[in-house]
Amino acid sequence: MTFATLGLIEPLLRALETLGYQTPTPVQAQAIPAVLAGRDLMAAAQTGTGKTAGFALPLLQLLTLEGPKVAANSARALILCPTRELAEQVHASVAEYAQHLPLTTYAVYGGVSINPQMMKLRKGVDILVATPGRLIDLFRQNALKLNQLQTLVLDEADRMLDLGFSEELANIYRMLPKKRQTLLFSATFSDDIRLLAGQMLNDPLSIEVSPRNVAANTVKQWVVPVDKKRKPELFVHLMRKGRWKQVLVFAKTRNGVDALVDKLQGLGVNADGIHGDKPQATRQRALDRFKTSDVQILVATDVAARGLDIEDLPLVVNFDLPIVAEDYIHRIGRTGRAGNTGEAISLVCADEVNMLSAIEMLTRQTLTRKMEPEFEPEHRVPDTDASGQVVKKPKKPKKPKASGGGGKRNLGKWVDSGDVAPAEPSIKPVRKVPVFNTGPRKKK
């Protein structure tokens, strides 16, 4: 299959040729014809699957071939993204795909001055990429009208809800014209996402593309058990031992990012950090310098790093495990791309055992543990496996009462790895995407 057989117009094919895209990815093969046919879409696909081109190419084509010229302070298509970095990244891709088309594109997000954005919107833009909060601000200040909107894309919808944007999304929903095409992309489908989809989508086509790294054949993953307080020391030790060159490191909190970056910089290591407290320009600069290998170690929170496309990353380190198990897949998905092999190392302390268990259950694997000599933890990390069980260290059995005569049978109460009651998983397993009615589209 080629992009031409999917029905894309020549200026788009030319742009794809320049970018070196030869064959459509599975999500593109399914999404492009459906979007061109005007369908709403509910797609289970995450970064790395080529989903951006999956929605952007047909969207650009429809905007080029159909509809009136964009009016002042208006947008014809809106792509909503959870974070500023993602908005920038999606916009950069859209602009590349649109390079031979007579369309205007622009990205707006918070954390930077609103005035230049208001100025830019005066003439109207064909495709606007936005984060929810800033979009609402612009709308309320009358810098943006949405009555000309043809298409809405919700990118990483699950992450928008995780970040607490549900109220913003409800507000945006009320601002939208009833007649429009809506495309929803999400890595996971919780009840809330389904509710959102039920509200926003009209007879959607459901597409599911297995996340690239769930099987993680190309990513070698392992866990190093360690005491919490010794994690920084272990990180430096492993970095030196493994002569790490380009590493993306995930820490749980903003303070955690800053503390590790300070430590590394104090040792003369070329490290930088990105998290939500840093100004946008600083975040973007750190990321750009990491991509060009001017920064060797980039430490990030999940929010700042979600969805970022960094090519050929050899190593991802989870300095802390993510609170949400799905984020583990997103994190390790930054390595082992495009047929390359990658490594993902997680430093895990006893406090994180439930998170480890949830990750193993989600990815249906028991992660190999490698003890690092000199760093064996004093607080043992209980055994875990892909069933979601956490195996506590066996307690000493109570001595049978002399009169009870229970003998050996009473020992059955204690727990060992072969005989364990299933523990409640801390995180629900990912459900399959519901099958939606894919029948003929009703007239809107």
Q: Name the minimum Å distance from CB 393 to ligand AMP.
A: 43
The tokens describing 72, both together, are: 């002042």
Which C-beta is closer to ligand AMP: that of 117 or that of 151?
A: 151
Q: Which of 309, 372, 383, 385 binds ligand AMP (CB under 6 A)?
A: 309
Which C-beta is closer to ligand AMP: that of 89 or that of 182?
A: 89
Q: Name the minimum Å distance from CB 258 to ligand AMP.
A: 28
Is residue 208 within the footprint of ligand AMP (CB under 6 A)?
Answer: no
Residues 65-84 that bind ligand AMP (CB under 6 A): none
CB within 8 Å of 22: residues ≥ 6 apart: 2
Which C-beta is closer to ligand AMP: that of 94 or that of 295?
A: 94
Q: Name the minimum Å distance from CB 56 to ligand AMP.
A: 8
Backbone torsions φ then ψ of 11, nearest 5 degrees: -60, -30
Q: Which stretch binds ligand AMP (CB under 6 A): 17-25, 73-81, 175-183, 199-207?
A: 17-25
Is residue 24 within the footprint of ligand AMP (CB under 6 A)?
Answer: yes
Which C-beta is closer to ligand AMP: that of 271 or that of 329?
A: 329
Q: Which of 9, 13, 21, 104 binds ligand AMP (CB under 6 A)?
A: 21
Q: Name the minimum Å distance from CB 50 to ligand AMP.
A: 3
Which C-beta is closer to ligand AMP: that of 31 or that of 356?
A: 31
Which C-beta is closer to ligand AMP: that of 48 or that of 336?
A: 48
Q: Name the minimum Å distance from CB 93 to ligand AMP.
A: 6
Which C-beta is closer to ligand AMP: that of 187 or that of 345?
A: 187
Q: Name the minimum Å distance from CB 269 to ligand AMP.
A: 28
Q: Which stretch binds ligand AMP (CB under 6 A): 21-29, 259-267, 390-398, 428-436?
A: 21-29
Residues 151-170 that bind ligand AMP (CB under 6 A): none
Alpha carbons 239 and 175: distance in angstroms, whole number = 50
The CA-based dihedral angle spanning residues 111, 319, 336, 24, taken in that order and rounded to the nearest 10 degrees: -30
Q: Name the minimum Å distance from CB 55 to ligand AMP.
A: 9
Alpha carbons 70 and 106: distance in angstroms, whole number = 13
Backbone torsions φ then ψ of 15, nearest 5 degrees: -65, -40
Which C-beta is closer to ligand AMP: that of 21 or that of 139?
A: 21
Q: Name the minimum Å distance from CB 89 to ligand AMP.
A: 7
Residues 37-66 that bind ligand AMP (CB under 6 A): 47-53
Torsion sign, CA atoms 275, 280, 284, 285: negative
Q: Name the minimum Å distance from CB 99 to ligand AMP.
A: 14
CA nearest to 88, candidates 293, 274, 212: 274
Binding residues with ligand AMP: total (CB under 6 A): 13
Q: Which of 6, 12, 25, 86 binds ligand AMP (CB under 6 A)?
A: 25
Binding footprint of ligand AMP on the chain (CB under 6 A): 21, 23-25, 28, 47-53, 309
